[in-house]
Structure 1
Amino acid sequence: MDIPRGSVSTAGGSADRWGEEQQAAARKGLWRWFLAALGLSPAARRADALAADCHAGAVGEQRTAALLRPLEGVGWLVLHDRAIPGASRANADHILVSPGGRLFLVDSKLWSRRYPVYERAGTLWHGQADRGQSVRSVLYEADLVARAVGVVVQPVIAMHNAPVAGGGFFVRDVPVVPAVRLVEMLQGNDWPRDAAAARALARRARTVLPPYLG
């Protein structure tokens, strides 16, 4: 379910837009455009690589959004691509309020299936690449969201493509799960249904976490 470049939707739209902005900036002006067209612009090559990474991120967010859609029919509030108070560039990929009044922040990742994802010495790894920054980032975002909303936030990393060791594991109390198991994990970690608490939390989340405009 790959998403065409340039498509704008609630999930993943800001990632694609930012990548395209970097490409445009690297080609601003006739001379830069000419060098880029000839393949002679290092800045354009870097921007193109960045845009490709951004597009992959957007595709991952779109795929996660599709997986989460059924939850909306069973009492969950699902918000995508939300601004985080206090963060200048970071955004929350997916915010969920459960029927039990729990708040989850889901970070989508789409990494190469050539290498496994695993935990070693308290760090997230993808093959031989140290991906600990991904865990630090989602913990930072979860802390800011918790301060803004006023409740504990459970961060989750949902992994597309790359095989996840053991079918899922924790790094610094952050669950890393195959995306196909995300809904199962969320529902299995909810509290007993509390309609009043869920409604109040949903109103608060919508108010303090507006759509991210980049």
Structure 2
Amino acid sequence: MNAGASAGQKAAALRVQAVPRGFKRRVLAAVGMDREGARLQVDAGRWEAGKEGEQRTAALLTPLGREGWAGFYDRRIPGLDRANADHVLVSPGARVFMPDSKLWHARARVRVVRGRLMHGDVDKDRQVDGALNEARLIGQAIGAAVTPLIAVHNAPVDNGGFILRGVPVVPADRLVELLRRNAGAPTPGAARQLALRADRKLPRYVEGGGR
């Protein structure tokens, strides 16, 4: 399991870039005006939140491994240079799921407003389109339908979860329950072959290297 590895690498790289170098940036930093450094620190914080969300989800998914599920973490998405799949799961029934982890603050609800995904007043709708596109590309690579899901940590989700444009959006603590309900009847041979294909077609994602 390597959940959150690439997000952690990206955050660490941004923290290094945020250290002021050169006379001008050191002077600006000394008087609290290094805007570039501040921006990089904020970006690093976002990547660190992503890493934490992925690791929390991976911990929740651990029991599924004992139930015959195959899990692949932090994998490249064929056809996309700068995107990775947080988690790709193959059920004992040879069904494929792609949970996308989101660690959003608890001060606002996750809801649908006029057909768009919102976290409070912040439009998050591109997350739905992104999940659909990533699932499509993974499905093409492994030759199987892939169901995307958005698992939300911290922030409350309206109605305990909902489906938007075919993508379930659920509180993270309901994710495993939802996956178990939709695992399908066990087909060990087909599930094993599909897991082997997923592992082969979706290599590990390394931030900044060989994509």
- Name the TM-score, length of structure 2 as normaliser: 0.93
Q: Superposition RMSD on alpha carbons, in Å?
A: 1.5
Cα distance change on mapping 1:196 and 1:34 into 2, 3 Å: same
> Which residue of structure 2 lines up, in the alignment, with residue 55 of structure 1?
48
Alignment partner of 1:120 out of 96, 109, 113: 113
Does the CA-based 8 Å contact 1:18-1:54 persist in structure 2?
yes
1:103 to 88, 91, 96: 96
Give the whole-Å Cα distance in 2 for the aligned partners of 1:17 and 1:149: 27
Structure 2 distance, partners of 1:165, 1:146, is 29
Equivalent residues, number: 206
Query: What 5-or-longer segments of structure 1 have no aligned partner?
Result: 1-8
Aligned with residue 11 of structure 2, among 12, 19, 24: 19
* Partner SS for 1:115: coil
* CA-to-aligned-CA distance 1:59-88 (integer Å, 9 cap, x gap): 111100000001000100011111111110
Identity %: 47
Q: Is the 1:77–1:96 Cα contact (8 Å) retained in structure 2?
A: yes
Superposition map of 1:34-183 within 5 A: 34-35=26-27, 37-38=29-30, 39-183=32-176
More displaced, 15-24 or 53-62?
Answer: 15-24
Give the secondary structure class of the aligned counterpart of 2:66. Answer: helix
How far apart are 1:155 and its partner, in Å? 0.1
1:25 Cα deviation from its structure 2 partner: 2.7
Structure 2 unaligned residues grouped into runs of 5+:
none
Distance 1:202 1:159, change over 3 A: same
Displacement after TM superposition at 1:21 (Å): 1.4
- Measured against aligned partners, the alpha-carbon deviations of 1:73-107 in whole angstroms (never above 9, x if no partner) come to 01000111111111100000000000000010110
1:109-152 CA distance string (max 9 Å, x none):
01010000011222111111111011111111111101111111
- Compared with structure 1, are the counterparts of its residues 24 and 31 closer, same or farther at alpha carbon in structure 2 (3 Å cutoff)? farther
Alignment of 1:198-209 (within 5 A): 198-209=191-202
TM-score (norm 1): 0.92
Structure 1 residue 182, shift from structure 2 partner: 0.4
One-letter amino acid matched to 1:54? W
